[in-house]
Structure formats: C-alpha cells, structure tokens
Amino acid sequence: MKMNQATLVKSNYSSSGEVHKLLFLLLVGVAGCAWAQSPPKAPTVSMAAVPLTTAQRAQATMVNLNFRVPPGYHINSNNPKSEFLIPTALKMDLPTDIILGKIEYPPGEETSFPFSPDEKLNVYNGDFTIAVAVHPLHSVVPGKYQMHGVLRYQACDNAACYPPKTLPVSFEVKVVKEPPAHHANPAQSPHIHN
C-alpha cells in the first residue's frame, strides 16, 4: 500500500496539541545542541596567497610570507623567552638544488596578559610576515617550482591556550637563468698600428 507523506503527517499528528508537543521537543533538542557547541574552538592562523616570485639562479631571493592571527588571539613569537613556550617556527622542504637560505622572523610584541600581568610575553598578533631566502643553484633547470613547508604555532587568548597546530605553507618560484657574465673588453689602443 502506498502512503504519501501528507497522509502520514495527517495520521500521525491528528491534533494541534501533538504538534505543539513536537515543537517543544524540537526546541529542547536545538537548545541541547547549542549547549553542546559551547567548548572553545582552537583558532587557526591563515596565510595570504603569495604572488609568483622570480628567482635568479646562483643567488638568494627573499620571499615574504604573510600570516594573520585571528582577532582576540596571539601566538608565541619565534623567540618567546621561556623554555617551556612553543615558538612559532617555519619548516620548509624545498626541491632538489634549491637551497633554503635564512628565515627572517619578525620581532614579537612584548605584551602582558591578564593571566600574567607581571610577565611580558613575546607574541605575534594580527598580521606578521616571515621572509624566506630561496637560493636556486646553477644546476636548476629554469622553470616554475612549488615550495612546501609548515608553520608550527601555538595560540592562546586571554584565558586559555590551545594545543600546537601546523599550517601548510606553499608558494611558487620561477627560476630564471642568471644574466650572462659581463666581461670587460681588453684595453685597446685608440691608435691603429699598421
């Protein structure tokens, strides 16, 4: 026997009292779900897209990576000044023959928090930039290369801290040939000797 949905609803909810009862139960369910949402959520640092960078072979080129910490949170700087705090650190895994040069971290902001008013922590807030030097060797075939890595950080707000997280980092570098070596012409006499 076939029964359409309308018939089913009609037979199951034959009085407005039952509809009200159902509404009440649904609202209680929603309230329960909303209560269960209450645990705090760990903040996520984001990275802005990196424009294609041209890097000449046999020399280092700096690439700026721009990150953002969500409002209301902070992460430790690269130098948090306590052995127990987890520093923000970038780890890159570059293609063969592209050497990772210096990673320049910005200085953190010396900040005291309500949970530690007497102690200043060195942190990153809002936007910050990490510069990475990439150095393609002479052997690298010119072309586009994808660089991959991870940013490890540990975030807190004014009252709680969240477990360390990693953010995948990637950007593209266009490797080009180095300019031809410039050889100075040997000195020539302005005079023509016959």
Partner 1 sequence: MKRSPLALVVVAFVVALMLYVGYHRARRSGPAFAPRLTQSTIAPDFSLESLDGKTMRLSDLRGKAVLLNFWATWCGPCKIEMPWFVELQNQYASQGLQIVGVAMDDASKEDISKFAKDMNVNYPILIGKEAVGDQYGGVPALPESFLIGRDGKIVDKIIGLRGKAEIEDSIKKALDTKAVTSQAGLPETHTVSR
- How many residues bind partner 1 (CB under 8 A)? The answer is 39
Strands (E), the chain: 46-47, 53-56, 61-68, 74-76, 89-93, 98-104, 109-113, 116-124, 127-136, 143-153, 155-156, 165-176
Indicate which single residue of 13, 58, 142, 166 sits in contact with partner 1 (rule: CB under 8 A).
13
Residue 151, interface with partner 1 (CB under 8 A)? no
CA 43 to chain centre: 12
Per rule CB under 8 A, is residue 190 in the interface with partner 1?
no
> Which one of residues 46, 54, 93, 115 is an interface residue with partner 1 (CB under 8 A)?
115
DSSP-assigned letter for residue 96: T
Stretch that binds partner 1, among 35-43, 56-64, 144-152, 174-182 (CB under 8 A): 35-43
Q: Which residues pair with 110 in a beta bridge?
A: 122
User: 39: helix, coil or strand?
Assistant: coil
**In sequence order, which residues have a C-beta less than 8 Å from that of residue 136 and are 6 or more positions away?**
55, 56, 57, 58, 97, 98, 99, 145, 173, 175
Choices 93-101, 112-120, 137-145, 172-180 (CB under 8 A): range interacting with partner 1: 112-120
H helices, E strands: number in the chain? 2, 12
**Residues 75-104 vs partner 1: string with x where CB under 8 A?**
---------xxx------------------
Among 5, 37, 189, 194, binds partner 1 (CB under 8 A): 37
Interacting residues toward partner 1 by CB under 8 A: 9-10, 13-16, 19-20, 22-23, 26-27, 29-30, 33-34, 36-37, 39-42, 84-86, 113-116, 121, 154, 156-157, 159-164
